[in-house]
């Protein structure tokens, strides 16, 4: 099972950034999203498709249907510039975790 993310997304401050994560029938799986800034460990920003951990701004939201899961970041700020990774649990290949390749969000 593989997850496909665009290598990069660029957005002006104040706009809405959408980062896609594609996978076969991904809508049937729970998708988690992580933000990783340079030199830092990843941080969970969305879990179980659309839930937000405490402390994560409401500007971060997730959706998942069909063959694409999406992380949306509204009112993008300079501090949102980071790599974003999607993750699923694949039970078809023996209960393993799969990460997408990551998307670099650049705030113009």
Partner 1 sequence: QVQLVQSGPEVKKPGASVRVSCKASGFTFTNHGFNWVRQAPGAGLEWMAWISGYNGLTNYAQKFKDRVTVTTDTSTNTAYLDLRNLSSDDTAIYYCARGGWAVVGDASDAWGPGTLVTVSS
Cβ 61 to partner 1 shortest distance, Å: 15
Cβ 31 to partner 1 shortest distance, Å: 9
Nearer to partner 1, 15 or 30 (CB): 30
Whether the Cβ atoms of residue 2 and residue 101 lie closer than 8 Å to each other: no
Query: CA-CA-CA-CA torsion for 69, 75, 81, 82, nearest 10 degrees?
Result: -30
Tokens read off for 74 = 């509204």
Footprint of partner 1 (CB under 8 A): 30, 32, 34, 36, 41-44, 47-48, 53, 83, 85, 87-89, 91, 93-102
Cβ 107 to partner 1 shortest distance, Å: 20
Tokens read off for 54 = 């405490």
Nearer to partner 1, 15 or 98 (CB): 98
- By DSSP bridging, strand 82-90 and strand 96-99 are antiparallel
């Amino acid at each position: 099972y593989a997850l496909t993310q665009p290598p990069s997304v660029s957005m002006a401050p104040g706009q809405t950034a959408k980062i896609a994560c594609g996978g076969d029938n991904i809508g049937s799986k729970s998708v988690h999203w992580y933000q990783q800034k340079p030199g830092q460990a990843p941080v969970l920003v969305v879990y179980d498709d659309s839930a937000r951990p405490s402390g994560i701004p409401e500007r971060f939201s997730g959706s998942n249907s069909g063959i694409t899961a999406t992380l949306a970041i509204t009112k993008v700020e300079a501090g949102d510039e980071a790599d974003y990774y999607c993750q699923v649990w694949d039970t078809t290949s023996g209960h393993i975790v799969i990460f997408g390749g990551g998307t670099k969000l650049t705030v113009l």
